[in-house]
Amino acid sequence: MLAEINLLPQKQQRNYTNLLVLLSIAIVLLAGAVTVLMMVNQKNEQITQLEQEYQQVQQQTAVLQQQASQDDSSKAVAELEKAIEWSTEYPIDFVPLLNELTKNLPENGYFYSLEYANNASLNLLVQFESSREAAYYLKRLKDSELINEVKLVTVEAVPLEDQEDTVPRYLATYELSIDRNAVKAFQEGRVSND
């Protein structure tokens, strides 16, 4: 029998564990790099999208600012129109009108109350000694150039207090519509004459 004797050195078995560890580390690093690249691409896309939205918002802001400036100019025009309207409706100087009302009062007539209802009307409560004086005063007011329309609303007899046998006084209520233009013209005429 022959014995086999091998004098050649034995082949060492390769150690694949180191190779597998290196390969798995390389795969993990490659997967991590791919993941990081995908996340960077995703963030870049988000940044691009946000920049586009920012530009759109800037464009919309510019449009809104333009509209606001146009609205401001239209508001300024509207405010100017309101100021003009207010100046035309501004209450007139009351002194010439009051002088006209007192000039037409009879000798024993007195204002009981005077109410400026709005910029063109007046409510008067006047005390007279007779109802006839109330009618005369109505006629004088109708003849006045400063008054458009006069209406005698009521005439009431009011007895005097503490005196039973005396003639009562009369309270007459008038509604007057003032001619603003005539009052202004009268006032301007007085100013130019002075």
94-193 — its CATH code? 3.30.1360.100
Q: How does strand 169-178 pair with strand 110-118?
A: unpaired
Q: How many Å apart are CA 39 and CA 117, to the nearest integer?
A: 77
Domain boundaries, the chain: 16-90, 94-193
Q: What is the pLDDT along the chain (194 residues), one digit of tens a residue?
A: 678 877 777 777 777 888 889 999 999 999 999 999 999 999 999 999 999 999 999 999 999 888 877 777 778 788 888 877 766 666 567 777 888 888 889 888 888 888 877 767 888 999 998 888 988 999 999 998 888 899 999 999 887 776 666 778 889 999 988 887 787 777 776 544 44
